[in-house]
Amino acid sequence: MKRILLIIITIFIALVFSGCNPNEKDSVALDDARFEEEEIKYEIEQILFSKSFQSIEPSVEIITNNNKLKILASLGLSEYSGINVNSIVKKGSEINIHVSGISNKNDLRLAVPQVVMELKKTKLKKIEDLRFNIIYDDYTPLKIKYGINDVLNKIQSHFKVSTKGTPIFDLIRINDAIVWDISYNSIFDKENPDIPLVNLSAQVDANTGNIIDSEKLSISTSLDSGHILGYINNDYILYKKTVLDKDTNKSIEQLWDYSALNNEKSMLYSSSFKISSAQFSSDLHYVSVIEVNDNGSELYIIPLDDKRAYKISFENKFNPKTMRWDNDNVLYLIENNDDNSTVYSYNVKNNDIKAVGTFNKNIENLIINNDNFLIVEKTDNELNKKISITSDWDKFKPIGNGANPKFLNKNMISYLRKNEDNDYNSLFVYDMKAKDIISEIEGNILNYEILPDNNIVYVDKNINKNDFTLKKYSLNDQVTNEIAHFISDKIYYDENRNLVYLNITLPFDNEKTEMIYSLDLSKLN
């Protein structure tokens, strides 16, 4: 009997103690229950209606903890013209943020309201243990089944398009439906055999996933495959492309030109070696070609009247790397050896070769205007390069540090200079008479060209995006205007025809084929 009584007492004690040890969740709830509600004072710093739509669910994020508690409260997708934070109440480790919506029928916005605010005079020992809740007093969050990433994947699959960038998108209301409104500029239509660029707009129901409206507009013409080597404003394109020789089954390189005047292209030269560079002469009667083979590099001249290339031989072993035509059909050539450069000139009219000299400089580029020569000198461990000017190849006057200099006119020079702090390129205009910089165009400028009437057109890389903006700058007015956005930085502007030529590598092609397109600017946007 005593034994049975002992067992009963033991079981009773075990039940009593097990009831006194709740699980962790219940423990927190009991702890919070022991605390009274405390209303927290707060200061709202900013309210914005986010349309990024990467997250549409309510959330609270602690964004700073420097003796202050500052939070970012995302209230979830809704359709209001404004919002109120009614109160913030703390009870134990829970902080409840009470909100309500403001409805003005003339200013309703489908968006995710976000509030940045600082919580005042709170004694919070362990920030990481806090649990934030959004309490909807008079606020109706909206639910959708298809997020933006789901919709973009559906559109690209359905329309068989490929893109390197991000479209413009928004959530709109059409009658009772919440709809994704999507607009793509300059994307690839993979269904078309010529793979042209198109603009695509589509509307997709955010709850059913159905495409309710769409439009695909061709904005380009495919000129050819190839890599652009030279461009004469409003007139000619010089480009090379690689083809497979059916007889030898080996790759060969071909040099082509395209005339915008008559919309015709023709092959100028073919080689089993690499075409390193090619340039039109100043009068457009010749094309010079530097070809790289197993023994070095060689120079060829192609008269455009008969397209019969001939090789230029030098007495000494000379391997030209860089070339530039002057205004009188004289071609200047540069060879680099260690820390010095040898310069030759070749007169195409009388077939005369002259040694200009050997210089204790690593000259990597040369720009010519009449008897003035802009020299770009590469230096070790320098972000920018030395730019100087000479007229006699004896005295070199420094201009500045940068890259890609050009003569704007007889008195002004432009060049790019990289900012050492952020690695961005700005465009500078240097006055040779004043010996000073007279203008600076800020941005992340990758390349530029000189237009008539003191205008400059340049390509600016958009920060945190995968696209580029073509802009036009007037030196006279010092005003910049945007022309259009593109998915490649290889942009060649034809102002007369209101179009651009775009050189781009196909992003979906395993062969990494380069294509050349012409784009009608009136259709682009």
Summarised one tens digit per residue, pLDDT across range 142-167 is 999 999 999 999 999 999 998 877 89
Residue 493: name the closest of 252, 215, 231 by CA. 231
Instruction: Check whether 290 has a pLDDT greater than 50.
Output: yes
Specify the pLDDT at position 28. Answer: 40
Q: What distances in angstroms separate CA 305 from CA 258, 286, 290, one per listed residue?
A: 15, 8, 20
Specify the pLDDT at position 506. Answer: 84
For 55-64, what is each residue's pLDDT tens digit? Answer: 899 999 998 7
Q: Quick one: how far is CA 48 from the chain centroid?
A: 26
Residue with tokens 């390189």: 253
Q: Quick one: how far is CA 228 from the chain centroid?
A: 20
Residue 114: name the closest of 53, 61, 73 by CA. 73
Instruction: Check whether 215 has a pLDDT greater than 80.
Output: yes
Judge whether 53 and 171 are in contact, CB under 8 Å: yes
Beta strands in 103-152 (DSSP E): 109-120, 131-138
The sign of the dihedral angle between the CA atoms of 51, 443, 518, 474 is: positive
Cα–Cα distance, 441 to 476 (Å, whole number): 14
**Is this structure's pTM higher than 0.85?**
no
Judge whether 458 and 445 are in contact, CB under 8 Å: yes
Percent of the chain with pLDDT strictly greater than 90: 71
Max CA pair span of the chain: 131
Band the pLDDT of 27: cuts 50, 70, 90: very low
Mean per-residue pLDDT, 68-89: 94
3-class SS of residue 394? coil
3-class SS of residue 48? strand
Mean pLDDT of all residues belonging to the chain: 89
- Tell me the residue type at 300: Y
Specify the pLDDT at position 224. Answer: 94
Band the pLDDT of 22: cuts 50, 70, 90: very low
Specify the pLDDT at position 123. Answer: 64
3-class SS of residue 389? strand
Instruction: Check whether 36 has a pLDDT greater than 90.
Output: no
Angle at 175 between CA 171 and CA 181, to 5 degrees: 25
Judge whether 397 and 405 are in contact, CB under 8 Å: no
Percent of the chain with pLDDT strictly greater than 70: 91
3-class SS of residue 138? strand
Instruction: Check whether 4 has a pLDDT greater than 70.
Output: no
Cα–Cα distance, 104 to 270 (Å, whole number): 69
Judge whether 330 and 291 are in contact, CB under 8 Å: no
Specify the pLDDT at position 525. Answer: 63
For 252-271, what is each residue's pLDDT tens digit? Answer: 999 999 999 899 999 999 99
Q: Show Cβ contacts of residue 375 under 8 Å, excluding neighbours closer than 6 positions.
A: 361, 363, 365, 366, 386, 387, 388, 389, 390, 396
